[in-house]
Amino acid sequence: MRNRLLETIAPTAFVVMWSSAFIAGIIGVGAAPPMLVLFARFALAGAVLTLYAVAVRAKWPCGRELVHVLIAGLLMQMVQFGAFYTAMADHVSAAVISLVQGLNPVVIALFAGSVLGETVTRRQWAGFGIGGVGVGLAVVDQSHFSAIGVALCVAGLLGLSLGTVYQKRFVPHVDSRANTAVHVLVSAPVAGIFVLAGGDTHIGDPIRFTGSLIWMVAINAVACFLLLNAMLNRFDATRVGRLFFATPAVTAVLAWLLIAQPLRPLTIAGLGVGVLGMVLASRGGATASARRRLRPGGEPAATAVAHPVPR
């Protein structure tokens, strides 16, 4: 009965929860500076995930292994979310950021070709190009378009993709529970430094700030993490990976319903083209053993099977 319930409800629940992270992020940066939101999120999520890792007696990395985990964590957490949250504050829509993040497996495939010795097929190159066109269509349709916002989205995508490849190159077998906690914990003080350097700690709307923070920690950082690992333990990784193809569209609908972000025809077309590129790029290329090497645990697991990291 439990397995049947998980198979029926879990995929839909996961897609909605994952997509909601972009909505919570936009609400948060609308109430407080993005780095302050990020610092609070990392600090709280780090405490919760550390307690969980201790409770389940996860094996913690140490020595040189720990150094590699720290570097991967800064790329995947601080660079990715620092760029994405700043882009949100620059009025880049949730749908566009979700679509850009969804191109992560394409970029991973490109990096993996040189770093992990994988073959990038013509179909994957085509998928990369088509996905880029989709992002371009969605971005052009935004009323608050800015080159800085687009550059931030690209920086966030590169942080996530480089961090994933780095981790699977140097520390592919770290316990996912401790790994995720370390990623968040090392990013919290860095975000705090940016808060102090910026000098802006004003919270314009404490209620919205607190509500978005609770959601990001409880749902996106913890519940998504647990549900993702439960699905990866019971389902084929490819099946779980396909769920991420739905997140840009679900994010766009949620943003339209909950925070009144417009859903224009060109944005819808861009989402469709972008998802097509993601699907093409996910097919073929890596060998089975290489795909196994690219499957991290915890938050990065989502990254490898098709897409980031609980937001």
Q: How far apart are CA 141 and CA 266, in angstroms?
A: 6
Handedness of CA 13, 19, 24, 27 (dihedral sign): negative
What is the per-residue pLDDT for 295? 40
pTM: 0.83
The predicted structure's pLDDT at residue 294: 41
CA distance 33 to 235: 39
- Residue 92 has which token pair? 């880049």
Residues making up the chain, counted from first to last:
311
10-residue mean pLDDT profile of the chain (311 residues): values are 70 90 95 97 96 95 95 96 95 87 77 64 75 74 73 93 89 90 96 94 96 94 85 73 79 90 81 77 50 39 43 52
pLDDT, position 293: 42
Cα separation of 255 and 252, whole Å?
5
Q: What pLDDT is recorded for position 8?
A: 74
Cβ atoms within 10 Å of 253's Cβ, excluding its own: 15
Angle between helices 80-89 and 176-198 (to 10 degrees): 50
Q: What's the number of CA atoms in the CB half-sphere (13 Å) around residue 252? A: 24
pLDDT reported for residue 116:
58
Cα–Cα nearest to 183, from 167, 161, 165, 162: 167
Cα separation of 53 and 311, whole Å?
19
Residue 295 per-residue DSSP state? -
